[in-house]
Amino acid sequence: MAVPVAFFGIFFAYPVAAIVSRGLKAGGHWQFGRIADVLGQSDIRHVLWFTTWQAVASTVLTLLIALPGAYVFARFEFRGKQILRAAVTVPFVLPTVVVGTAFLALVGRGGLLDGLWGVRLDTTVWAILLAHVFFNYAVVVRTVGGLWSQLDPRQEEAARMLGASRWTAWRKVTLPALGPAVAAAALMVFLFTFTSFGVVQILGGPTFSTLEVEIYRQTAQIFDLATAAVLTIVQFAAVGIILAVHAWSVRRRESALRLVDAAHTARRPHGSGQWALLAGVVATVAVLILLPLGVLIQRSFEGPDGFGLAYYKALTSSDSGVFLVPPIEAIGNSLTYALAATAIAVVIGGLAAAALTRRAGRLVRGFDALLMLPLGVSAVTVGFGFLITLDKPPLDLRGTWILVPLAQALVGVPFVVRTMLPVLRAVDGRLREAAAVLGASPLRAWREVDLPMVRRALLIAAGFAFAVSLGEFGATVFIARPDHPTLPVAVARLLGRAGDLNYGQAMALSTILMVVCAVSLLLLERIRTDRTTGEF
């Protein structure tokens, strides 16, 4: 546990604490009265209210739309199922900047709806809610559908034979068993939407602001660290509560159910009702997920002189005035940073997962919660904290390239831990003991016993870490150097400038980023033969 604790202490707790300290300290004394002053402002209360209710609305809407999909993927066997499953999961690994850009191409200025009916939804709450459903659809399908596929259908069939209607049997038998998984999925969706940044910043405009967007505005634009510090504390407390409830729901799910092999529960649809449900889910995926991505690709090829590669060719020019280098260099920068971040995340996350499998108690549960905090704590705060803390020896890293991978690795570590932990827990400890009795050192026992069993999970964890590192935006926007922009930062800066050329280049870069993430996911699907591997 020593290395992960040191890593999180230096590169997470220290920068966040420094931001809070600078905002709430004056003359060497803590000014806790600022908390009441900030929370008493009407505009801040409006931000808190909007952050909460849009997260609730996004969660409810996601559950309503995605639960039928979870049932279809769990209980039906049909042609093209694996391809459709991969397509559903693509949005989850996409950067939020790309999600916002895709919906901007669909519902924004000159978008599909604008061109067909003159309807624009950008700068409205509906665009934000739909984008959140697009992003989190896979969370519900994977979490709930994964458990649903392992529930014994004979229990519901027995209730039907005893006279219960289909609805009553589902409500009395299946729903209680699915309850913990639905709660876990809802909490994860709420967490991601409560801390939403890129989607709200791109689609919400100046009208709507979540806590994360407001922290960015107070830090980068107004430089009001006191307000930013208070909002960071509020978000930290909210995320802590969400993660605690999520951990409770996961423990309840693990201990309350007896599961069967998922390969034996799926059947081909029969009857008009089941075929209609399958058709409805396929149509939902096509409209909600494939259509925005398709429109994004189309807009990237619609140049000023017609359909072509004009915007992609413009990426090789440095005459736009947006960057010090051609935007195309952001691709190489992002890949380099993501590979470095993946290596760091795999090492730190692997050590953390190994430690969690060998210890128990409150200390370890607290350590597990610490590993999850970067998913919910403001990445903006972490990024700005890097700038003001890692600028003096022996940690003078502000002018080095490694700063970006370190920030990205903080987000990748939780995915590594959650992917590897169930597999490591499944390794029989007696095998390690037998290796030790035969004279193997702990390192050799790991290499000979654990590594062959967890190699596949390790590759999956690395793939997830690579995808999320590639799309990290909140912290990177602060610390990426102007001559070394990443793809998400380049997209955001291009969208922030007027002109069709900048807009088209943003669409082109977003398409490239989407393709890279989609390819990574497809490779993961080929590796991941067991649908229940990992906790995501």
pLDDT of residue 257: 45
Percent of the chain with pLDDT over 70: 92
Residue 495 tokens read as 């969208």
pLDDT of residue 340: 95
Q: Are residues 426 and 359 in the same domain?
A: yes
pLDDT 10s digits, 150-178? 777 777 778 888 888 877 887 888 778 78
Q: Are residues 135 and 270 in the same domain?
A: yes
The residue-averaged pLDDT of 95-115 equals: 80
Q: Are residues 252 and 204 in the same domain?
A: yes
Q: Which amino acid is at 295?
A: V
Q: Rounded CA gap, 25 and 293, in Å?
A: 46
What would the DSSP string read from start to end of 218-262? IIIIS--HHHHHHHHHHHHHHHHHHHHHHHHHHHHHHHH-----G
Look up the domain containing 448 and give its range: 1-30+313-536
Identify whether 394 is preceded by a cis peptide bond (ω within 30 of 0). Answer: yes
Q: Are residues 144 and 223 in the same domain?
A: yes
Residues ≥6 apart with Cβ < 8 Å to 371: 4, 8, 349, 352, 413, 414, 417
pLDDT at 528 > cutoff 80: no
pLDDT of residue 153: 77
Give the number of other Cβ atoms within 10 Å of residue 406's Cβ. 23
pLDDT of residue 261: 56
The residue-averaged pLDDT of 173-190 equals: 81
Which carries the bigger pLDDT value, residue 264 or residue 410?
Answer: 410
Question: Mean pLDDT in the chain?
Answer: 82
Which carries the bigger pLDDT value, residue 468 or residue 248?
Answer: 468
Residues ≥6 apart with Cβ < 8 Å to 299: 105, 110, 111, 504, 507
pLDDT of residue 339: 93
> What pTM does this model have?
0.79
Q: Are residues 49 and 198 in the same domain?
A: yes
Q: Rounded CA gap, 483 and 27, in Å?
A: 37
**Is the residue at 521 inside a domain?**
yes
How confident is residue 531, by pLDDT bands cut at 50, 70 and 90? very low
**Is the residue at 306 inside a domain?**
no
Which carries the bigger pLDDT value, residue 358 or residue 193?
Answer: 193
Q: Are residues 357 and 500 in the same domain?
A: yes
Domain end: 258, 273, 299, which one? 299
CATH number for the domain spanning 385: value is: 1.10.3720.10
pLDDT of residue 55: 94
pLDDT of residue 57: 96
Q: Are residues 12 and 46 in the same domain?
A: no
Q: Are residues 295 and 326 in the same domain?
A: no
